Amino acid sequence: RMSLLALARIFYTIQKFDTAIKYYDMIPEYSDDWLESLMEVSWAYYQTERFGRALGNLHTLNSPYFEEEFYPESRVLEAVILYSTCHYDDTLASVNTFIKGYRDLFKELDEQLKVPRDPNQFYGWLARLSKSGTDISPRLKRIFNAALADKNLGRSFGFILSLNDEIDALKKLSQNATLTGFAAALINEVTSFRSLVIGEAGSLARSRLESIRDELRAHLADGLKVRFETLKAQEKAINTDEKSVTGDGDVAAGDIDREHQYWPFKGEYWRDELDSYTVGIVSVCPTKESRKPVQEDSKPALEDNDTAPKGETPAPH
C-alpha cells in the first residue's frame, strides 16, 4: 500500500497525472492511506481538468462519515476549482466558510502550542484530548486525529498504552504475596521506561502539531488569495460586461459506462458509495479556457458514478 502511494506521488511529481491516478485508485478503500489518497488524487483530477471527479472526492472527504478527520486542504481545492470554472459566487461561499471555520481552529491550536509544557506534560494534554467527554474543543479533537496520522507518533502512543496495560497486570501480580517484591521491582522499571517513552512521544507530538499549525496557516493564506482573486475577477467581469457561456451541470446518461449506473445524489450517504461521487460542473467562463489556477504549487504531500449535481452538494461546514 505504501509503495502504491509512493509511486502515485512520483508520477504526480513528474506530471504523469493519468498514471498517478491509476496508482491512487489501487489503494484499498478504508485502509489507513485511503483518505489521504482521495485528497491527493483530487489534485491529479484537477490538473487533468476532471473537475467533477475531484469535487466528488472532496464531497466524500467532507461527508458526515469523516467529520472528525482533518483535511482543510479539501476546502481550498474546492474553491480553486470553482474559481477556475468561473463560479465566483460559489467560490466565495466556499472560501468564506473555510476561513471562518479554520481561522478559529488555527488560533486555538496556536494558543495551545504557546502554553509552556515539558514533553511529558504535552503528552498528557494530548492524552486528555483523545478522550471523549472532556472540556476541550471538539475542533481540537480533529487536530489530535491529524497528529496520530503520523505513523511514528501513532506507534509511540500505542506502545505507551501497551506499557500501561503491562503495569496494570504487574499490579495484579503483586497481590500474590510470594511475588510482591518481584512485581514491585518490575513496576518501577516499567514505569521509569514508560516515562522516557512518554517524553519522546511528547516531543514528537509537539513537532507534529507545529507542522500542522504551519500547514493550516498556509492553507488559510491560500484561501485569502483565492478570495482576493475571485473578487478581482468578479469586478473585471462587471466592468467589462462579460457574458458567460453556461452549460448544464448534470452528468449525462451517455457519460456512464456499462459497469455503472447513474443515481442522483439526494442528501443521503452510503458507505459503499463514498468514493463514487461525481459533481456535475461545467465552466461558465466567457472563453473556452478555464481560469488559470490561483495556486502555483498545488501538489500532494510527498465507478458507481453516484452523482452530486452542482447545487445539491451540501454547503461546506
pLDDT per position as a tens digit, 73-109 = 999 999 999 999 999 999 999 999 999 989 988 998 8
Question: What number is the average pLDDT over the span 141-167?
Answer: 84
CB 306 within 8 A of CB 265: yes
The contacts of residue 142 (CB under 8 Å, 6+ apart) are: 68, 69, 70, 105
Question: What number is the average pLDDT over the span 104-131?
Answer: 86
What pLDDT shows up at residue 135?
56
| Nearest one of 23, 80, 13, 28 to 49, comparing CA atoms | 80
- Residue burial 269-303, b: 16+ Cβ < 10 Å; e: rest: eeeeebbbbbbbbbbebeeeebbeebeeeeebeee
Question: What number is the average pLDDT over the span 9-21?
Answer: 95
| Nearest one of 243, 251, 236 to 286, comparing CA atoms | 243
What pLDDT shows up at residue 99?
94
Q: What is the pTM of this model?
A: 0.76
Q: How confident is residue 41, by pLDDT bands cut at 50, 70 and 90?
A: very high
Q: How confident is residue 214, by pLDDT bands cut at 50, 70 and 90?
A: very high
How, if at all, do strands 306-307 and 263-264 pair? Answer: parallel
Q: For the chain, which residues make up each domain, given as ranges?
A: 1-69+244-317
Q: How confident is residue 127, by pLDDT bands cut at 50, 70 and 90?
A: confident
What pLDDT shows up at residue 243?
55
Average confidence score pLDDT of the chain:
80
Residue 243 and residue 82: Cα distance in Å, rounded? Answer: 17
Q: Could you give the residue ranges of the DSSP H alpha helices within the chain?
A: 2-13, 17-24, 34-47, 51-61, 73-84, 88-114, 119-129, 138-148, 151-173, 180-240
Tell me the three cell numbers of residue 75: 476546502
